[in-house]
Amino acid sequence: MPNANSDRRSPQPTNELSQVQRRAVGELLRVSPAADDLARRFEQAGFHLALVGGSVRDALLGRLGNDLDFTTDARPDEVLKIVRPWADAVWDVGIAFGTVGCRKDVSAGNGSEQGFQIEITTYRSEAYDRTSRKPEVSYGDSIEEDLVRRDFTVNAMAVALPQKEFIDPHNGLEDLATRVLRTPGTPEESFSDDPLRMMRAARFAAQLDFEVAPEVIAAMTSMADRIEIVSAERVRDELNKLILSDHPRKGLRLLVETGLADRVLPEIPALRLERDEHHRHKDVYEHSLTVLDQAIALETGGPDLVLRLAALLHDIGKPKTRRFEKDGRVSFHHHEVVGAKMTKFRMTKLKYSNDLIKDVSRLVELHLRFHGYGTGEWTDSAVRRYVRDAGPLLDRLHKLTRSDCTTRNKRKAMALSRAYDGLEERIARLQEQEELDAIRPDLDGNEIMKVLGIPPGPQVGKAYKHLLELRLEHGPMGRDAAISALHQWWAAQPEG
């Protein structure tokens, strides 16, 4: 089937195409022991098998992992019969949608084994209810019919196995070489069938650093309201993949510019505050994207969803708290508190886990705390409270706070950096002296009850809180001093 957009393209240089083909050969040779063995079993049973979609795209980009996607003309029950004797594990949770999953471990040739996670999906020809995200699955009879239903041309390529015949009816290889996202048919038809593909366009732009074709952007813009029929969970999953990608700024910009963000994450486009010559202030939208970039640069051990979400959302309370002061300045008093509440609301709407919501909103709430530090005026007790309030999020709070400095004033930036260096050094010294990460009073609840001769109840909690405040204010007191302080406090209580 010819590509609907093929007349808009010019042939690509042969050397570019041969480069991606060479990369693909190397990747396919690596997975051949598993892929070819499986393909021969399908062939012997009278069926066809092809590597397809993202697996072919990633092979051509030289980044194929051990998760392999295949398509076949065999129906799911027939697929199960073929893979069960062959695979090391089989699961059929997706069988209602025509997908069978399995795992196969093969020798890597150096005495070790490679484990492949495999999904095999029967050719599909899907009919969608235009008011629902869930497709009505019907099986197709040809690979061409299967490929035309896929989201983008770079995901609509296949390699028939074991003969390794390359199948590309929609010129995906050309689009891959020029790093462009197009749809196999018209984008309007594609997005009407499956609105989540609009989010996927932004996600792939961020993951692969591809450009999105103008006609695809136009369709995303005109059809943005279609995303509202998609479940919050599916939107959240695409958003996570975008935010955890190598170029999240690119995908987020696309969501904002097409109007999709207004439907799924409206707090971000709302950061584009109007500015005028009399009330100058930082562009909060651009600032937030820069903070995200800078937080990513500070990551260690891989992408950190909590840190990235906090960086993106840390200033979302500013539009609601903006005030124009009499002296011409703009203020955003308590935007961190408002922002934390807004973060909790939006993440709850997107069905994030309670733990993730708690961590991200806490970071948003704490992100301004450091700015009270000045040039080191905090007492040791203030430093202890900073550590206690951050808890296990302290390392992320360090990174978020440092990322939040986007000033172009080099002197100011250096002063902020030195001040935070000083705070971290003080924290390290106190931690060494006091085991600051686990700040507790010098007496626990059982000891309090024993010293005061009282049973469990609210008085024990009040006493514990009082001793904790003393601990934060003065550092470790020792058991005898703590008992003395507890008696003094108890004598002043009505219960005492």
Task: Name residues whose C-beta falls within 8 Å of residue 458's C-beta, 6 or more positions apart in sequence.
Answer: none
Strand ranges across the sheet with 99-107: 89-91, 99-107, 113-122, 67-72, 49-52, 158-161, 165-167
So what's the pLDDT on residue 81?
A: 96
Burial of 205 (0-12, 13-18, 19+ CB in 10 A): buried
For the chain, what are the domain ranges?
Answer: 1-174, 297-438, 445-491
Torsion (CA) 343, 349, 354, 355 in degrees, nearest 10: -50
Give this prediction's pTM. 0.80
Both tokens assigned to 327: 């002296």
Residue 201 token pair: 């366009």
Q: How many other CB atoms are found less than 10 A from the CB of residue 455?
A: 8
Burial of 303 (0-12, 13-18, 19+ CB in 10 A): middle
Residue 306: Cβ within 10 Å count:
17
**Do residues 396 and 363 touch, judged by C-beta distance below 8 A?**
yes
Tell me phi and psi for residue 476, to 5 degrees. -60, 135
Tens of pLDDT, residues 318-348 = 988 888 877 777 778 889 999 999 999 999 9
Contacts for 201 with CB less than 8 Å, ≥ 6 apart: 151, 152, 181, 212, 216, 220, 254
Q: What is the pLDDT along the chain (496 residues), one digit of tens a residue?
A: 334 444 444 444 445 556 666 667 667 777 788 888 999 999 999 999 999 999 999 988 888 888 999 999 999 999 999 999 999 999 988 888 899 999 998 876 666 778 899 999 999 875 556 666 565 678 888 999 999 989 999 999 999 998 888 899 999 999 999 999 999 999 999 998 889 999 999 999 999 999 999 999 999 999 999 999 999 999 999 999 999 999 999 999 999 999 999 999 999 999 987 554 434 445 889 999 999 999 999 999 899 999 999 999 999 999 888 888 777 777 788 899 999 999 999 999 999 999 999 999 999 999 988 887 766 678 888 888 888 899 899 999 999 999 998 877 788 888 888 888 888 888 888 877 766 555 678 788 888 888 888 888 888 888 888 888 888 777 778 888 888 888 888 888 886 5
Q: In the structure encoding, which two tokens stand for residue 204, read together?
A: 């792939």
pLDDT score at 44? 96
Instruction: Calculate the alpha carbon distances from 63 to 23, 24, 71, 206 in Å.
Output: 9, 9, 20, 16
Strand extents, DSSP E, 73-221: 89-91, 99-107, 113-122, 127-128, 135-136, 158-161, 165-167, 180-181, 211-212
CATH T-level fold of 1-174? Beta Polymerase; domain 2 (3.30.460)
Quick one: how far is CA 339 from the chain centroid?
Answer: 19
The pLDDT value given to residue 17: 55
User: Do residues 299 and 293 make contact, with C-beta atoms less than 8 angstroms apart?
Assistant: no
Per-residue pLDDT, 372:
73
Structure tokens at 17: 């195409």
